[in-house]
Structure 1
Amino acid sequence: MNSNKKDTSQLYGRPLPPSIYTATALEAAPKLLGQTLVRCTEDGDIRCKIVETESYGGKEDKGSHAFGARRTARTEMMFQAGGACYVYLIYGMYHCVNVVTGDEDDPHAVLIRAVEPLTARDAELMQLYRGKLPAGKAANLSNGPGKLCRALRIDKSLNGCQLNRMDGPLYLELGAGTSGLSIVQGPRINIPYAEEYAAKPWRFYIQENPYVSVIDKKNDYRRTSK
């Protein structure tokens, strides 16, 4: 199926509540767990469950690319209204995908750190795009932000696409959520430069999900239900 000619009346799922996109990154990050990330390709649509996120919120967050209201060609997408996709390159070779949230001109973004393919067919397509995996567990397919972008063919050509529109190459659907599951939160990964913000417990993941990228038994803790 050519995804560019998709009949939007035949879409698989339902859109996320608009309130997720208008929330701050810190509010949205745990709410994105259990939702579905959809990548449309010429080989078919791939659906994955989001199992790990990190929030980067506001001009005061020293871990954010937009700290201090830094507005550049790279960070411009973070200043858009919630619903946009922010894709950037790290180490000159790995892409990372983020969900922009909040109000226009107030830079908030949620990094998607890990996803789990919903079906065997989804995993097969992701394996095709990812290529040969290193020895180890099957979750190595997409248990990290760079890994999932390779497995879903996400690169900077998708920067700025609207994740809240279900007719594009990459978007979000309402998933099963986290009802009945435990959410763990803890410090974000590999941001020592963020000083006092490095220890903020702004990473969230589904407890015991095998696709979670990092488990820090010393600093992570189960999130209190609200």
Structure 2
Amino acid sequence: MAIEPAFWTQPVVSLARALIGARFLIDGIGGIIVETEAYDIDDPAAHSFPGPTPRNAPMFGPGGHVYVYRIYGLHWCLNFVGGARHGGAVLIRAIEPTDGIAAMQERRRLVDIRALCSGPGKLAQALGVTGAMTGLPVDQPPFSIEAGEPPREILVGPRIGITKAIDLPWRFGLGGSGYLSRPFPKKIVSRAT
């Protein structure tokens, strides 16, 4: 099912939650989004917090575009720009591989399907994400995104690998998934109604 343009204008925390279960591919390689994190302009952990720069420029553009950056000078990270205002993005932390698994295994030089995309750097390597993709629309080639069935259970917890605003419960995961980057706190679960 196609994702409508208005989808990208919902508040970024809602957007991060709504992306759980969506199917995302790059050149036919990818799978089901099972883990996300939200970042908003008023959030000190967000790249947009200090204001526009050449690096974070896509975060101040229209929703439904890709924001790619390198972390630790080594790994690309894939984000989808969106939110009710400029400066928001959703980090795609993990996917369940479904399409192009052999290509992902070759890129990652491993066989274990559960480890292919269980973290933002791993996911970017497996899908062939590069900095040249930043600013491109997520609904046009080489990308493909479709809404999934609403998940029965979404896990909620604090974001990982940051030093600011670490208490915000802006990390979301697909309940029961074996493809998450790390376990969630067991006490925080949200069930769909």
Normalised TM-score (structure 2) = 0.93
**Counterpart in the other structure of 1:66:** 48
Equivalent runs, 1:58-97 vs 2, <5 Å: 58=41, 60-68=42-50, 70-97=51-78
Post-superposition shift, 1:103? 5.3
CA contact (8 A) 2:26 2:142 kept: yes
Paired residue for 2:133?
158
CA 103–200 in structure 1, closer or farther in 2 if over 3 Å, else same: closer
Per-residue deviation at 1:217? Answer: 2.9
Q: Residues 155 and 184 of structure 2 are in contact (CA less than 8 Å); yes or no, is this contact kept in structure 1?
A: no
Instruction: Give the Å deviation of 1:146.
Output: 0.3
Counterpart amino acid of residue 54 in structure 1: E
2:178 match: 210
* RMSD of equivalent CA atoms: 1.7
Task: Show CA shifts across 1:112-156 (max 9, x none).
Answer: 00001125xx211211222236xxx53111100000100000010
| CA drift at 1:81 | 1.1
How many Å separate the matches in 2 of 1:117 and 1:141?
Answer: 7
From the superposition, tell whether residues 176 and 224 of structure 1 become closer, same or farther in structure 2 (CA, over 3 Å): closer
Q: Which runs of 5+ in 2 are unaligned?
A: none
Structure 1 residue 184 corresponds to structure 2 residue 135: no
Partner of 2:35: 52
Could you tell me which of 90, 113, 117 is aligned with 1:142? 117
Post-superposition, which runs of at least 4 consecutive aligned residues in structure 1 deviate over 4 A?
A: none
Is contact 1:38-1:173 (8 Å) kept? no
Matched, 1:172 2:116: no
Match in the other structure for 1:112: 92
- CA-CA distance at 1:170 after TM superposition: 1.9
In our comparison, the structure showing a higher alpha carbon Rg is 1
Any gaps of 5 or more consecutive residues in structure 1?
A: 1-13
Give the equivalent residue in structure 2 for 1:222.
Answer: 189
The letter of the residue matching 2:39 is: Y
Residue deviations 1:76-118, cap 9 Å, x none? 01001111100000010100000100356x2010000000112
1:78 and 1:86 in contact (8 A); partners too: yes
Is 1:17 equivalent to 2:8 in the alignment?
no
Counterpart of 1:175 in structure 2: which amino acid? G
User: d(CA) in 1 for partners of 2:135 and 2:21?
Assistant: 23
Taking structure 1 as the reference length, the TM-score comes to 0.80
In 1, are the aligned partners of 2:158 and 2:166 still within 8 Å (CA)? yes
Does the 8 Å CA contact 1:22/1:102 hold for their aligned counterparts?
yes
> Cα 1:83–1:103, aligned 2, differ >3 Å: closer, same or farther?
same
Seq. identity, %: 35
Q: Which amino acid aligns with 1:21?
A: W
Q: How many corresponding residue pairs?
A: 193
Deviation per CA, 1:24-82: give whole Å up to 9, x if none: 21110110000011111xxxx12310000000012x101101114x2111110100111
- Whose helix fraction is larger, Structure 1's or Structure 2's? 1
| Corresponding letter in the other structure for 1:101 | G
